[in-house]
Amino acid sequence: MNLPLLLLAILPVLHMVTLPRLFQRAGLTAWHGAVPGLNYWIWLGMLKRPKHWLLPLLFPGPNLIMISILHVETGIAFGKRGTGQQWFMGALPWAGMPWLAFATQDEFQGPRNWENVKKGMIREWSEAILWATVVASLIRGYVFEAFTIPTASMEDSMLVGDYLVVSKMSYGPKVPETPLSLPFVHNAIPGTHLRSSYLDWVTIPYTRLPGFGEVDRYDAVVFNFPNGDTVVVDSYLAGHDYHALLRQRAIGYAGGDPVAYEQDKGRFDGMARREWSRTHGIKARPVDKKEHYVKRCVGLPGEDLAIVNRELVINGDVVESPPGLQFNYMVKLKRDADLRVIKERFGLTDIDIQGQAPGGRVFMALREDEAETLMVQGLVEAVEPYDPTSRRGTLDMYPNTNRFDFASWDLDNYGPIHLPAAGETIELTPRNLALYNRVITAYEGHDVVERDGQVFLDGQPTEEYTFQQGYYWLMGDNRHSSADSRYWGFVPEDHVVGRAAFTWFSKMNEAQHGESGIRWDRMFKSVR
């Protein structure tokens, strides 16, 4: 346990020691101050503060603000009303509370009475903003939060420009792992060079509060991007997969040859890492400060998952696809002018039109029924499904190696791969090591080394491993234009943030859609 967390942990003990003395001087029952929970109830009454203040005191993050307020107001109630004294009580309660209880004999004067005193405008606004910050932080951290869809990976169920409300109660809200953070800012201070908006002096172990249910198949899940544990210090690149960027650059150092790269992976990775550090800088992020992604959950812990000719196979059985899936097609037009007609007919935007080639050939994202309609109704000359086999052997597909059968995996034919469940034990074969090495090291915090045919876990020889948490598989509805688990692997349980509930606002923009305007038909529309 680090020192700041230890200091926060001893605050309740400090209160049990100091509040009885303060209660006695306030004419209250002294022993009430030594009873956890009851002492806070009486404390609020002593300060003439509403009892509903107990609620934010229960939740990490908002409770840091609330407890500081109580310390300051306790000092005021015992005559410590100078600016320096208030700062002392608020910033250093570990010294302030014992000093107030044992080193002074000041009589209880009660909280400051504002009934016949007009508060200054600054104080009025400061108190209103402070209380609004507490309430908003409580709601944003534990009930629901708003997110924006920045990419087309979930078309056409969620569109670029959709503003989502994400329910954190659906699976149980996570307690913030880094509670010392600026309110209303996720991980970087706006207008700075990705300066962190949080302090990692205090970290809280992963804890999830009770929720309404568990992640189910085809839920639209918002999660912390697993590969976002390290980011390139660049406003554009920070939301991208650092490990993929590193690998691509390292392959470049290997002459563009994935085989040569894998033969000396450590050296080439080191060269790429030094380049990124020199040209941009790189930084680490804790789990709760990784970028937010939204995808659809297609695989649950304990299942065997595969993709066969675009169809999802779970435990050997084909499962029905969710509605609205999009795939890429090469469409040959009869006339160039027909593209405008097709866009209007099917409601396509510039995001769906992904490229044009000579000869009236257009690369576009379509639902299968839209592609069939184009041909059946004779609107185009030909429609050819995109062939992703060129991705094979490029190291793009997780586990990003050409060892074993992984070199034959692509977007439409992938796996089988097993999704670990909490408490499940696997044998550490060479193939399993390739699949689960990142899980064991990055997500579960162990050190794994293979030496002379023997696997060492945290320095001890072993032949098996037991997983500490469950893992999900998430994919975008725009199956050929989604950076998802097929590229970067498993989503750990402790990365799950909540479920996308509904769209509260939606707006197109000229740069991405070719037109602008509010999409009124999507306002307050449930996410399917």
What single string gives the DSSP state of each residue in 186-245? SSB-TTSSS-BSB-TTS-----B---S----TT-EEEEE-GGGGEEESSTTGGGS-HHHH
User: Which of 506-510's residues contact partners 24+ apart within 8 Å by CB, and which partners?
Assistant: 506/159, 506/161, 506/162, 506/163, 507/161, 508/160, 508/161, 508/349, 509/161
- In order, the DSSP letters of 71-109 are HHHHHHHTT--SHHHHHHHHH-HHHHHHIIIII--PPP-
Map residue 332 onto helix, strand or coil. strand
The pLDDT assigned to 1 comes to 52
The rounded distance, in Å, linking the Cα atoms of 81 and 404 is 72
Q: Are strands 496-508 and 471-475 parallel, antiparallel or unpaired?
A: unpaired
pLDDT score at 153: 86
- What pLDDT shows up at residue 130? 80
Nearest to 364 by CA among 375, 353, 356: 353
End-to-end CA, the chain = 42
Supply φ then ψ for residue 514, to 5 degrees.
Answer: 85, 0
Per-residue model confidence as pLDDT tens for the chain (528 residues): 567 778 888 999 999 999 999 999 999 999 999 999 999 999 999 999 989 889 888 888 888 889 999 999 999 999 998 889 999 999 999 999 999 999 988 889 988 776 666 767 777 787 788 888 888 888 999 999 998 888 888 887 888 889 999 999 999 999 999 988 988 899 999 989 899 999 888 888 999 999 999 999 999 999 999 999 999 999 889 989 999 999 999 999 999 999 999 999 999 999 999 999 999 999 999 999 999 999 999 999 999 999 999 999 999 999 999 888 999 999 999 888 888 889 888 888 888 888 888 888 999 999 999 999 998 888 899 999 999 999 999 999 999 999 999 999 999 999 999 999 999 999 999 999 999 999 999 999 999 999 888 999 999 999 999 999 999 999 999 999 999 999 999 999 999 999 999 999 988 877 777 777 888 988 888 887
Structure tokens at 311: 């169809």
Domain ranges of the chain: 3-140
User: Two tokens at 178?
Assistant: 């880094």
- CB neighbour list of residue 277: distance below 8 Å, 6 or more residues apart: none
In terms of C-beta density within 10 A (0-12 exposed, 13-18 middle, 19 or more buried), how is residue 317 classed? exposed
pLDDT, position 492: 98
Indicate the pTM of the whole model. Answer: 0.88
* Residue 465 CB partners (closer than 8 Å, separation 6+): 425, 426, 428, 436, 440, 457
* pLDDT of the residue at 117: 66
Query: Quick one: pLDDT at residue 304?
Result: 98
